[in-house]
A and B are shown apart, each in its own frame.
Chain A
């Protein structure tokens, strides 16, 4: 059975997938489930980058500076700006979703780490997904 089963339905507003390869699901697997402490025998290689680094401390100077930069980057009130009305307008135009994402994505990628990479791989063809290392099925 393929793991990348996409559930149909919805108007394209909700990004859907089954589990494997998504950062937050891998996080759940590392964090939740039956565990018998004495028998946990694993050293994680390269996983820290995926999960621990994504846990940005929410109330930190770094966060504040990122927020400050984000509001300063806004181009409100001038023509061609990307304020909320503009975005909503794009969303309601047929097939404009990708265009809108494109506009927003640049800034986001630099802020989000691996997590947003996953978003991208899910919404795209999947070429960038980490399936390179998945064997079989």
Chain B
């Protein structure tokens, strides 16, 4: 074992899978540590705390994408580093062998597709004002008054708008999820991370149903053009659908 070198782990693949090509974090070559029924995709990193930035996240994503192109992969969360290849075998591949093997089987032939839908601000605000007379009135009454004089009224107005947006979101997000969920094996709806997000969700989809899923997303996007913006990403390894979280 080399002193000073640890193994950064990208993900777990079937034992027979080839290592993805290309460079890993810090430019090190990507290789596999092979266990009895599964292998880990790893590359060398220096010992100690790994200082990582956005570029390193992207390397992690790229290595996993290449692995996915070759078959099923269970992605690790970013930042898992084991002391050496033996530890990768013992602490990851052997200790969790049953779970890893069953998840490799379960996720084989499936990918994660991520959809994020955001309201277009202008269209959303127009809809809110036009369909809520009380908001329209308050808005008119504040329009030509200096901001300093109307702080609390503006908070009140914004709160009413927020409530209207929440109602709108409930309807719109429900329609989108209802249309797509039947085409997916599983759905993971993300927490809202912005006030104008309609919905953010990851879908676990069989590869053979991807074209169908693509069309469904296209249809939803076309029907909502001008009101919402659709951002559709994938295929990704099934980050949101692996289930192994080990607390020591």
A-side residues, CB < 8 A to B, are 1, 3, 7, 9-11, 13-22, 24-47, 50, 54-56, 58-59, 61, 63-74, 76, 82-84, 87-88, 90-91, 100, 103-104, 107-108, 111-112, 115, 119, 122, 130, 133-137
Interchain CB contact under 8 A, B65 and A33: no
B173 at the interface (CB under 8 A from A): no
Answer whether A65 and B236 are a contact pair too, CB < 8 Å, given A13-B230, A30-B78: no
Contact A1 B79 (CB under 8 A): no
User: What is the chain A residue whose CB lies nearest that of B164?
Assistant: A67
Q: Given A47-B53, A68-B158, A137-B62, 17 other A-B contacts at CB below 8 A?
A: A1-B65, A1-B66, A3-B65, A13-B230, A19-B61, A22-B231, A25-B61, A25-B114, A32-B242, A41-B48, A50-B54, A65-B155, A71-B161, A107-B121, A108-B121, A119-B231, A134-B59
Q: Type the 1/0 row for B56-70, where 1 means its CB is closer than 8 Å to any CB of A.
A: 011111100110010
Q: Which one of A28, A36, A134 contacts B248 once the chains associate, using CB atoms below 8 Å? A: A36
A130 touches B54 (CB 8 A): yes
Counting chain B CB atoms within 10 Å of each CB, which of A65, A88, A103 scores highest?
A: A65
Q: How far is the CB of A20 from chain B (nearest CB, A)?
A: 5
Q: For chains A and B in complex, what number of residue pairs have CB atoms within 8 angstroms? A: 286
A35 touches B80 (CB 8 A): yes
Answer whether A18 and B116 are a contact pair too, CB < 8 Å, given A28-B202, A88-B226. Answer: no
Given contacts A15-B232, A18-B234, A19-B233, contact A26 B50 (CB under 8 A): no
Are A71 and B129 within 8 A (Cβ)? yes
Q: Identify the interface centre among B27, B54, B127: most chain A CB within 10 Å of its CB.
A: B54
Is A54 in contact with B78, judged by CB distance below 8 angstroms?
no
Choice from B6, B27, B214 contacting A10 with Cβ under 8 Å: B214
Residues of B within 8 A of A44 (CB): 52-53, 79
Q: Give chain A residues whose Cβ lies under 8 Å from the Cβ of B134.
A: none
B177 CB-CB contact with A under 8 Å: no
B18 on interface, CB distance cutoff 8 Å: no
**In the complex, what distance in Å separates the CA atom of A75 from the CA atom of B225?**
21
Known: A18-B234, A71-B139. Contact between A10 and B221, CB under 8 A?
yes
Which residues on A sit within 8 Å (CB–CB) of B162? Answer: 58-59, 63-64, 67
Indicate if B246 sits at the interface (CB-CB under 8 A).
Answer: yes
Cβ proximity bits B127-139 to A, threshold 8 Å, 1 near / 0 not = 1111000010001
* Contact yes or no, A40 B126, CB < 8 A: no
B33 in the interface (beta carbon within 8 A): no
8 contacts between A and B (CB under 8 A): A39-B91, A41-B81, A43-B51, A67-B161, A72-B143, A87-B123, A107-B122, A119-B229
**In the bound complex, how far is the Cα of B233 from the Cα of A107, in angstroms?**
25
Known: A14-B221, A70-B121, A72-B143. A33 touches B54 (CB 8 A): no
Q: Mark B186-211, 1 if CB is under 8 A from A, else 0.
A: 00000011111000101000000000
Pairwise interchain contact B230-A15, C-beta atoms closer than 8 A: yes
Q: Select the residue from B77, B116, B122, B214 with max chain A CB neighbours within 10 A.
A: B122
Chain A residues whose C-beta falls within 8 Å of the C-beta of B224 in the assembled complex? 13
Flag whether B159 is at the interface (Cβ < 8 A): yes
Q: Could you say which of A37, A87, A111 contacts B226, with CB atoms under 8 Å apart?
A: A87
B55 close to chain A: CB less than 8 A: yes
Q: Could you tell me the distance between the alpha carbons of A88 and B58 in the complex, rounded to whole angstroms?
A: 37
Cα distance, A136 to B62, chains bound together (Å) = 11
Identify which of residues 166-195 in chain B touch chain A, using a CB-to-CB cut-off of 8 Å: 192-195
